[in-house]
Structure 1
Amino acid sequence: MALRVTGKVVTPTGVVRQGCVEINGDRITAVAEYPAKRDGHWIVPGFVDMHTHGGGGHTFTTGDAGSARQAAAFHLGHGTTTLLASLVSSPLPLMRDATAAFAPLVREGVLAGVHFEGPYLSAARCGAQNPDHLRDPSTDELSELIELGGGAVRMVTLAPERAGALDAIKLLTSHGVVAAVGHTDATYDETRTAVAAGASVATHLFNGMRPVHHREPGPVVALLDAPNVVCELVADGVHLHDGMLTFATSSAGPERAALITDAMAAAGMPDGAYELGGQDVVVADGVARLARDGAIAGSTLTMDAALRHAVTAGIPIADAVRMVATTPARAIGLGGKVGALQVGLRADLVVLDDDLNVVRVMRGGSWVE
């Protein structure tokens, strides 16, 4: 039996006033104008978070399947209907164990894939990554993980200036795995070479990167300027000044700017002591920092809060919705399945009130309890 959800529908082309989304089974069957006495709630596509380490007191970084399931459920309650489980720099045995543990969750649909943020990163730009685990990219390691995952490995972040990085990028892309540039001290030219080799995502642009300089633009300018690169942005007011958020969005356009949470287990939890990749983290006033040096250690953000922050910063809601759903879905190769209120796609949607707070969440045609 068909279900109809009415309100202010946000499609990839803009806002449809007094619209409706019709659902049959787990698919969207129609998006159309629909007369109503009032505009009603906002109806937006389910959020797609391509970079998150955990939430609700649970983490992806230890490779524990039960914890991963709980973290995904926490973010689902905040409107994230599709997410990657992001790990941090780790020894190969943990990477193996996590791949094996998460692959069944990917097949089940709890996770959309695994994202390895590291360990092939710059020591100079490691941020909250554990420096003890950093190393040069290994095609042998990556080949083993890709085979072990059977399609579960979806993205790997690396620093293109490290020895073997270009071979790793080519290997990843040849297997349909997204190669992302991040935690890097690369020059402008080194970054452009990585993009030419197939890198297509900028991991939390600006953060963990050589800063822009007028005589050496560095990775930020190279990534913003590349027409095939989607740039991740953490819209929490901590990682980026709102002026930089809006600048990057206007520079890349909403079709190449993706909002992410970069959330850790502390998202949705009280301030206090936490752990990330074997390192102590202190959360104060909702901001997560390493205990040893005060480096930002992920975030306590959720995707609904990121959307609200972006709109408050001045990004039009239709653009912001694209940045939390359509663009990240396309960036990780799922644009033909999720990320938009479009006929034929999975019926994932979020109902928001006028303040953009979550009212209800639907995933695969079923309302989430």
Structure 2
Amino acid sequence: MSLTLADARIVTPEGVHDGWLTIEDGRITHVGHGSAPGPGLSVGGRHVVPGFVDVHNHGGAGGSFPTGEQDKACEAVALHRRHGTTTTVASLVTDSVEGLTRAAAALAELCEEGLLAGIHYEGPYIAKARCGAHDPTLLREPSPQEFAGLVKAGRGHVRMVTIAPELPGALDTIRMAVAEGVIAALGHSDADYDQTITGIEAGASVATHLYNAMPPLGHRAPGPVAALLDDERVTVELVNDGVHVHPAMLRLAYEVAGPGRTMLITDAMSATGLGDGDYVLGPMQVRVEGGVARLVEGGSIAGSTLTMDVAFRRSVQEVGMSLPDAVQVASLTPARVLGLAGRIGSIAVGKAADLVVLSDSLEVAGVMKDGVWITEP
């Protein structure tokens, strides 16, 4: 079956052009300029961008990935797909090893079905002083042997682990993760500049939600932020919801790291897509007020209620990114980090037809996954 999308403003990392594209068997077969050579579905001059890729997401629509409940996970993925995220990594939070193992085994089945793109362990190998919305009583020192068991539980679908590099055993665990093909991310850490550099040297290549749950940038004590931004080997996650990071600091990170080392994440939790109220994130009780999720005890920010379309829109309208750069940080850069840039992340011949149609105000007007409309424009 062939479908041509015509009268489109196609956004690639190289630029924006008026044109058309053809899809056959779930893949893009042609990308052209100007008028389509034959009949097609007009998108009315709206923007067409690649599907968003979210490497750090805890759930939505009442579903929480850390519980491992498959039906709820499916509902969460469906919500985020309607908002343009066609590729989702399921993030867990700190729990007992047994709890993490159960959740990973359940989510691995959804990875095998193609619903999820992988599993991310955000904890338990993080610093108590910077644990945020993680249960401090369940934190553990990193152990390569123990982590090997968690990798095994994910049956080849563990994509990332967040580790505080200053903890005993952290460097060996980072090395072991990288050797197993798992991305080591530094975060929820009280590390100083030198300890962060040591973690990068051990193989860490991602900063878990830069700025959040780590010491702030200082002119005499630069801390992890400077180390992570300055190193060309590191890609930084940013939560662009107007709550986690001030737009000026997000702009600073983007200008230093550039679109090739910056990626938007949602850090979404189960309340995403729902109203204010009481929810859970792993074993922690969360209250959402005014769309902001915080722990009932202590008040720490507990993930977000963000969707990627909002983060994309804010990046253009609040941060000042160009559309091609916003596409790169929302799609291509995270796809590259996951090792999937050959298949997704940009509009190019041969890639999967994961597409989002956006209005002039960058509101979602249509979403396609593997050539099938989720929401038809």
Taking structure 1 as the reference length, the TM-score comes to 0.97
Q: Which runs of structure 2 are paired with 1:73-112 in the superposition (5 Å)?
A: 73-112=78-117
Letter in 2 for 1:331: V
Question: 1:50, 1:328 within 8 Å by CA — same for their partners in 2?
Answer: yes
- For 1:199 and 1:31, locate their aligned partners in 2 and report how far apart those are by CA, in whole Å: 37
- For 1:122 and 1:319, locate their aligned partners in 2 and report how far apart those are by CA, in whole Å: 33
Q: Provide structure 1 residue ranges, at least 5 long, that are not aligned to the other structure.
A: none
For the aligned residue pairs, the C-alpha RMSD in angstroms reads: 1.4
Identity, in percent, stands at 53
* 1:10 paired to 2:11: yes
* 1:308 paired to 2:318: no
* Structure 1 stretches of at least 4 aligned residues deviating more than 4 Å after TM superposition: 36-39
User: Which of 137, 141, 151 does residue 142 from structure 2 map onto?
Assistant: 137
Question: 2:239, 2:264 within 8 Å by CA — same for their partners in 1?
Answer: yes
- For 2:44 and 2:253, locate their aligned partners in 1 and report how far apart those are by CA, in whole Å: 32
Tell me the alpha carbon deviations over residues 227-283 of structure 1, each in whole angstroms, 9 at most, x when there is no partner.
Answer: 121100000000011111111111100111101000000111011111112111111
Letter in 2 for 1:294: G
Question: 1:8, 1:39 within 8 Å by CA — same for their partners in 2?
Answer: no
- For 1:365 and 1:161, locate their aligned partners in 2 and report how far apart those are by CA, in whole Å: 45
Q: Provide structure 2 residue ranges, at least 5 long, that are not aligned to the other structure.
A: 37-41
Name the residue aligned to 1:353: 359
- For 2:146 and 2:3, locate their aligned partners in 1 and report how far apart those are by CA, in whole Å: 47
Name the residue aligned to 1:28: 28
Call closer, same or farther: CA 1:161–1:364 in 2, change over 3 Å.
Answer: same
Q: Secondary structure at the match of 2:129?
A: coil
- For 2:120 and 2:15, locate their aligned partners in 1 and report how far apart those are by CA, in whole Å: 30
Q: Which runs of structure 2 are paired with 1:37-116 in the superposition (5 Å)?
A: 40-116=45-121
Question: 1:56, 1:268 within 8 Å by CA — same for their partners in 2?
Answer: yes
Letter in 2 for 1:23: I
Question: 1:233, 1:257 within 8 Å by CA — same for their partners in 2?
Answer: yes
Call closer, same or farther: CA 1:103–1:348 in 2, change over 3 Å.
Answer: same
- For 1:312 and 1:331, locate their aligned partners in 2 and report how far apart those are by CA, in whole Å: 25
Question: How far 1:39 sits from its partner (Å)?
Answer: 6.8
- For 1:150 and 1:290, locate their aligned partners in 2 and report how far apart those are by CA, in whole Å: 32
Question: 2:104, 2:153 within 8 Å by CA — same for their partners in 1?
Answer: yes
Question: How far 1:144 sits from its partner (Å)?
Answer: 1.3
Letter in 2 for 1:121: I
- For 1:222 and 1:214, locate their aligned partners in 2 and report how far apart those are by CA, in whole Å: 13
Question: 1:180, 1:199 within 8 Å by CA — same for their partners in 2?
Answer: yes
Letter in 1 for 2:204: A
- For 1:357 and 1:19, locate their aligned partners in 2 and report how far apart those are by CA, in whole Å: 20
- For 1:5 and 1:133, locate their aligned partners in 2 and report how far apart those are by CA, in whole Å: 51
Q: Secondary structure at the match of 2:87?
A: strand
Letter in 1 for 2:34: Y
Q: Secondary structure at the match of 2:67?
A: coil
Letter in 2 for 1:46: G
Name the residue aligned to 1:229: 234
User: Which of 344, 350, 356 does residue 344 from structure 1 map onto?
Assistant: 350
Question: How far 1:223 sits from its partner (Å)?
Answer: 0.5
* 1:262 paired to 2:267: yes
Question: 2:53, 2:87 within 8 Å by CA — same for their partners in 1?
Answer: yes
Q: Secondary structure at the match of 1:124?
A: helix
- For 2:30 and 2:321, locate their aligned partners in 1 and report how far apart those are by CA, in whole Å: 27
Matched positions, count: 368
- For 2:141 and 2:302, locate their aligned partners in 1 and report how far apart those are by CA, in whole Å: 22
Q: Secondary structure at the match of 1:84?
A: strand
- For 1:366 and 1:38, locate their aligned partners in 2 and report how far apart those are by CA, in whole Å: 15
* 1:175 paired to 2:180: yes
Question: How far 1:128 sits from its partner (Å)?
Answer: 1.1
Tell me the alpha carbon deviations over residues 6-31 of structure 1, each in whole angstroms, 9 at most, x when there is no partner.
Answer: 31101121212x12222111111122
Q: Which runs of structure 2 are paired with 1:324-335 in the superposition (5 Å)?
A: 324-335=330-341
- For 1:338 and 1:2, locate their aligned partners in 2 and report how far apart those are by CA, in whole Å: 19
- For 2:362 and 2:19, locate their aligned partners in 1 and report how far apart those are by CA, in whole Å: 17
- For 1:268 and 1:99, locate their aligned partners in 2 and report how far apart those are by CA, in whole Å: 24
Q: Secondary structure at the match of 2:198?
A: helix
- For 2:313 and 2:253, locate their aligned partners in 1 and report how far apart those are by CA, in whole Å: 17
